[in-house]
Structure 1
Amino acid sequence: MKASDHMSFDGLFTHAMVTELRQNLLNGRIAKINQPYQNELILTVRANRKNWPLLLSADPTYPRIQVTEIPYINPAVPTNFAMMMRKYLQGAIITDIQQPANDRVVQLTITTRNELGDAEQLSLIIEIMARHSNVILIDQKTSRILDVVKHVGADQNRYRLLLPGATYIEPPKQDKLDPFKPNTDYLDLVKQYPNEDVLAKQLQQHYQGLGRDSAQQLAADLHQPGDLGQHYQAFLDQFDHPQATLLTLSNRKTMFAAGRFDHFGDQHREFDSLSHLLDFYYADAAQRERVQQQAGNLIRVVRNDLKKNRNKMKKLQQTLANTKQADELRLKGEILTTYLHEVKRGMTEISLPDYYHDNQPLKIQLSNQLSPSRNAQKYFSRYQKQKNAVIYVGEQIKLTQAEIDYLDNIQTQIELATPADIAEIREELTQQGYLKQRKTKKKQRSSRKPSQPQEFVASDGTEISVGKNNRQNDQLTLKTAHKTDYWLHTQKIPGSHVIIHSDDPSEQTLNEAANLAAYFSKARDSATVPVDYVQVRRIRKPNGAKPGFVIYEGQKTLYVSPNADIVEQLTPKK
């Protein structure tokens, strides 16, 4: 089992998380069970007079177990897996939470009553193993799998079947030592491998559950002067009293840890629980992943349509370049008409003085099948044809460019969307004819409330709204905002409509709103982004324009660097 490069949810972090979950959830009752996303289960556990939403995620990129406060959207129809979990776990009690031998596996022991009212013990197991991660419910007495979030058949894994009805076999054991069991092996390793990096690799191979980051930190600790036994013990003890820490690395990336990992840098921020730390750390990344899963077919459709339109644009521009010779055709027709008496039937070309350009000789091709006047006529009709083509191609280029801008904008909205926004983007693409109409029951469709723009509060208390899709953008700019409010948008870059609800915003509020406009745009990762701002009264939507498209004049422009910290500061506290 390979841990990721940095910030791994390794065996030690799992140990710390189990410590935290035991404190909060033991003897809690499972009140609600939801499966909002494909590989993720959320159990709402009622314990210590509080509701704890416990997330078990078998997401291949971000597998983990934690309590999460990030809101989620439930599918209208629960999945079969969610129905099975409800059947077995609804109202059951979590009587134990264990981690076998410092592995990345957590077992929740669940006591429930069967149909006859007899107590039964079930195990809900999460295996945190990158793309092999899984959530499995088994009957403790028989070790039979009742259900599993990802079915793994014999064709995928010969060693263990993960299917309902199969006997649960634990992940293959590795020949490694549980670091929490008393041992002195690390003393020999330090002697044998004086180099810190080599020692880290050896520790990782020798002990179970050390990700690369944990092994590097332990190697650094064992290289400190003083008693090695004390260093080793102190390193392990911190996972029994975890301190949720977010470190900023030298490459400006962040990493999470369950203790002081000072080997990686000292710039850090502490959280009151590991779960809060993970919510903060994963908020963006895990949302992206969920959106990718939910919007898979949207992303494909938009990408393909963009490609089609960009190819069409290339061809149109090529055609336009070819039609640039229209004026030359007219010129040749006129000169031929002027000197018609010099043209003889049967000629294939003639040189005549070009009176538009100092009577320079101009070579003109002729058809030997046509009379002189028909030759001149042919040049005029070709000129007319090309002139009409230029008008037509010009219109087509305008339409195709509008199509590209619209799809580019939708693509950006999908990239910045939360899972809740995806349904509305899908609806818009269906209305616009990019997606086939799905067969849905009438009732389901109307039951969903339209989502609202995201609200922020400037430092001076002014309210700022940010539209996250075209429906929200149109509603916000053209209906909700007062004519005297200020409207902001990234200049010539797809992004959100931003409204400052004030007719005289301070310079700081303008800058904060411009930062929001830049952050919620395609230019989120750019250093400097131009943002236009103008009063709402200066904005109009042309007839027949696509959703989200407006035109404006009289704007001023600010230049800002998108900054996630500012966005966080302006987000109203719940």
Structure 2
Amino acid sequence: MNDQTIQAIVAELAPALVGRSMGKVFQLSRLTLAIDFRTGDSRYLFISIEPQPAPRLYLIERRVRDLEKQSLAPTSFIMTLYKRLAGARLISLLKDEGERVVRFVFTAEDVIGQERQYTLVAQLTGRASNLLLLDENDYVIDALRTPRGEGQEIADKYQPPPAQGLPAPSGSPLERGTHASLSEAADAFYRQLDAERAFNSRAAAARARLRKEITQRVKLRRHLENDLQEHGEAEEHKRIGDLLLANLATAVRRGGVVALTDYYAEDALTIELEIDEQATLQEEAARRFKRYTKARRAAEEIARRLSELEQEVAALHAQEERLESIIAASDAAALETFFEQDRKRAPQAQHKKRAAESVPGARRYLSSDGYEILVGRAARDNDHLTFRVARPHDLWLHAADYPGSHVVVLNPTRKEIPHRTIIEAAQLAAAFSQARRDSKVNVHYTQRKFLSKPKGAAPGLVRMSSFRSLTVEPQEKLERI
């Protein structure tokens, strides 16, 4: 607010408020108040010292239940106002000449019935804006914001803040236009500004959330594509196994090296292969076939997950386009329910067993290394997650000696899970347990294949035949996906 607008607002406030007593104070935000002066017409003095969009004051018309619904718990400054000004009568309302400072002067009786004078100063000075309570000698009793600078600190004799070298707000003063009063015009203007700022903030948050979800999936896709390349030698393991069996009678073995005829080659060349000196050719062939089966299954699982990721990324890009349309149309209602609508529209996953969305009550996260982490909720959800969703080589975690969620790190490639991912999953296991308020929590972890369910046991109970432990701080630092 510029100097002219503040002067005009003060001229409008004075006849409405002077002579009236101060009633309830509503703390609408950390730096915004609404004060009841018992006008009897649902009007309240609105004071905001928020630097953005601007420090301001004027009368607003609101229902008391709306103010109560919006109010925060009173701060120490509000309690000071109640202590000094409860029932106090406003005797003057003035603006300092050439300053964006407004003084509300009150008289009130102290505890022994003696009349005291207090001044509530609305300092509408940009970044130095504040609301201060002064005693009858203009010494600072308390302030809404932590005061800084000479004449601003508690127990200082008050003086307005020095000019900061920046131009004061300029432009034409706010005009009434079609509104009944300047306060009504100011209220409408700033409510519109607040709505626009809130919309822009929600829009930026929605954009960031979508970008993050896309980035997470692209990162996971990159990890899976690298893993798929590593499993590309599955057929080579099978070929070697077949050659070992085909050469049982003709192979020439020298310690850990065996010479085989490669019947798959055009000229049936002889190849040399390093094998375990202690293993027979049949045992080496069996080992190769086992590696072939494992690599083939892993490759199939990776290919399936890559296909799912492609669909998810495409769906997220479609969401981005829809979001931009909503933002361009300034559709606040659609933006408010944007992610909720997309959850309703999302098709059911085809692979229900592994899709996190099909696990009742499961929370879903992505580790820093690109591994999916599932966290159960209730006991039956834990049972379903551990014994229906998790596969033998997935990692399972649980807070030691405390009831809590089962946590599963999906490991479709069956590779060693990075220690950082194990730490992040353990922090989730600790955070979603009854030990969540402890500074450090011991967490057990093991592969799913080492778990069993005792006969007749209650939902969520498991038996571990082998496990390791680590100590972590309970944290939910990973965002849900």
Q: Give the TM bin, normalised by the shorter chain.
A: 0.5 to 0.7
CA contact (8 A) 1:352 1:361 kept: yes
User: Residue 340 of structure 1 corresponds to which residue in structure 2?
Assistant: 247
Distance 1:210 1:279, change over 3 A: closer
CA distance in 2, matches of 1:69, 1:114: 31
Is residue 168 of structure 1 aligned with residue 158 of structure 2?
Answer: yes
How many aligned residue pairs are there? 331
Distance 1:325 1:286, change over 3 A: closer
Percent of pairs with identical residues: 19
User: Residue 262 of structure 2 corresponds to which residue in structure 1?
Assistant: 352
Q: Unpaired runs of 5+ in structure 1? A: 1-8, 176-203, 218-237, 247-257, 260-270, 296-301, 410-489, 497-513, 535-540, 549-574
Q: Deviations over 1:352-392 (max 9, x none)?
A: 3548xxx6999988325445444433322222333454577
Aligned-pair distance for 1:88? 1.8
CA distance in 2, matches of 1:377, 1:97: 95
Q: In structure 2, what residue type is equivalent to 1:17?
A: I
RMSD: 5.4
User: Residue 571 of structure 1 corresponds to which residue in structure 2?
Assistant: none
User: Residue 21 of structure 2 corresponds to which residue in structure 1?
Assistant: 29
CA distance in 2, matches of 1:387, 1:11: 76
User: Residue 476 of structure 1 corresponds to which residue in structure 2?
Assistant: none
TM-score normalised according to structure 1 size: 0.45
Is residue 55 of structure 1 aligned with residue 50 of structure 2?
Answer: no
Spell out the pairing of 1:115-126 with structure 2 (5 A cutoff).
115-126=111-122
Q: In structure 1, what residue type is equivalent to 2:262?
A: L
CA distance in 1, matches of 2:362, 2:61: 36
Find the partner of 1:147 among 142, 146, 150. 142
CA distance in 2, matches of 1:97, 1:151: 24
Name which one, 1 or 2, has greater alpha-carbon Rg: 2
Spell out the pairing of 1:10-29 with structure 2 (5 A cutoff).
10-29=2-21
Distance 1:400 1:77, change over 3 A: farther
- Corresponding residue SS for 1:321: helix
Q: Unpaired runs of 5+ in structure 2? A: 324-329, 347-356, 365-481
Find the partner of 2:360 among 532, 535, 544. 544
- Corresponding residue SS for 1:53: strand
CA distance in 2, matches of 1:362, 1:137: 97
Spell out the pairing of 1:319-468 with structure 2 (5 A cutoff).
320-322=227-229, 324-325=231-232, 327-337=234-244, 339-341=246-248, 343-346=251-254, 347=257, 352=262, 354=264, 366-370=273-277, 372-387=281-296, 389=298
User: Residue 455 of structure 2 corresponds to which residue in structure 1?
Assistant: none
CA contact (8 A) 1:33 1:82 kept: yes
- Corresponding residue SS for 1:54: strand
Aligned-pair distance for 1:138? 0.7
CA contact (8 A) 2:28 2:70 kept: yes
Distance 1:324 1:369, change over 3 A: closer
Q: In structure 1, what residue type is equivalent to 2:253?
A: R
Distance 1:516 1:105, change over 3 A: closer
Is residue 279 of structure 1 aligned with residue 166 of structure 2?
Answer: no
CA distance in 2, matches of 1:326, 1:289: 50
- Corresponding residue SS for 1:84: helix
Q: In structure 2, what residue type is equivalent to 1:243?
A: R
Is residue 95 of structure 1 aligned with residue 91 of structure 2?
Answer: yes
CA distance in 2, matches of 1:274, 1:98: 19
TM-score normalised according to structure 2 size: 0.53
Distance 1:363 1:388, change over 3 A: farther
Spell out the pairing of 1:505-520 with structure 2 (5 A cutoff).
518-520=334-336
CA distance in 1, matches of 2:201, 2:83: 29
Distance 1:389 1:523, change over 3 A: closer
CA contact (8 A) 2:139 2:158 kept: yes
CA distance in 1, matches of 2:331, 2:269: 60
User: Residue 109 of structure 1 corresponds to which residue in structure 2?
Assistant: 105
Aligned-pair distance for 1:334? 4.8
CA distance in 1, matches of 2:267, 2:333: 58
Aligned-pair distance for 1:105? 1.9
